[in-house]
Chains A and B, each alone.
Chain A
Amino acid sequence: DAGVTQSPTHLIKTRGQHVTLRCSPISGHKSVSWYQQVLGQGPQFIFQYYEKEERGRGNFPDRFSARQFPNYSSELNVNALLLGDSALYLCASSPGTGKAEKLFFGSGTQLSVL
């Protein structure tokens, strides 16, 4: 079975632009989470979606938004890009039905803002 897939793998944008990152969870997984990882730091939680509803949001500005589609894939949108948004953006999925589950992470999208 395919793991969590993210696209694109690399992206270069300029300040002020917007970006859309995409994630396809493992088949059968209904929960998708997004993380931002700045160089040298651990990943930081941005959003979690379960059954197409937002179930959690980290401490990120409103420029960051996300949604989950009926097939459980997800998009992360970032508007008005800043230099500080340069990071590795990770998507993780889990079945969403268990009490204590493990997250499966994709390889991430490396975003560079110039």
Chain B
Amino acid sequence: DAKTTQPPSMDCAEGRAANLPCNHSTISGNEYVYWYRQIHSQGPQYIIHGLKNNETNEMASLIITEDRKSSTLILPHATLRDTAVYYCIVVRVTIGGTSYGKLTFGQGTILTVHP
């Protein structure tokens, strides 16, 4: 699976948008970009995933560049409860396979939301 690079930490003011970047320059055509977050002392929580199109759900938006070499997770109105470690993960999905069960977590980005 392709390796990802994320900034170690970011700050954001409460109520503002948090934009978390991720570089995955070696991504292949059959690899998805997934985002998970982990709040202290809890298990990781799925946020969003995408292949090449931008995606939006109730939690966040995912913007993937046209060449797919980088992406940005956007939390539109950050709250104090969004303070967590955010992981960008590239997953190779094979037809009939279960490769999504094996995630390779990096160090992630520690997002701190300030009042």
Q: Which A residues are closer than 8 A to B by beta carbons?
A: 4, 31-33, 35, 41-45, 48, 50, 55-56, 58, 90, 92, 94, 96, 99-108
Contacts and interface: CB of A to CB of B under 8 A. Distances in A.
12 contacts: A4-B43, A33-B102, A42-B85, A43-B103, A44-B105, A45-B102, A48-B98, A48-B102, A100-B51, A101-B100, A102-B100, A105-B45
Interface string B25-69: 000000010101000011111100101000000000000000000
A103 B99 CA distance: 11
Interface residues of B, number: 27
B104 interface: yes
Interface of B: 32, 34, 36, 41-46, 49, 51, 85, 87, 91, 93, 95, 98-108
Contacts, number: 73
Contacts of B85: 42
B46 A42 contact: no
B51 to A, nearest CB: 8
Which of B98, B104, B108 has the largest number of chain A CB atoms within 10 A?
Answer: B98
Contacts of B98: 31, 48, 50, 55-56, 96
Which of B41, B43, B49 has the largest number of chain A CB atoms within 10 A?
Answer: B43
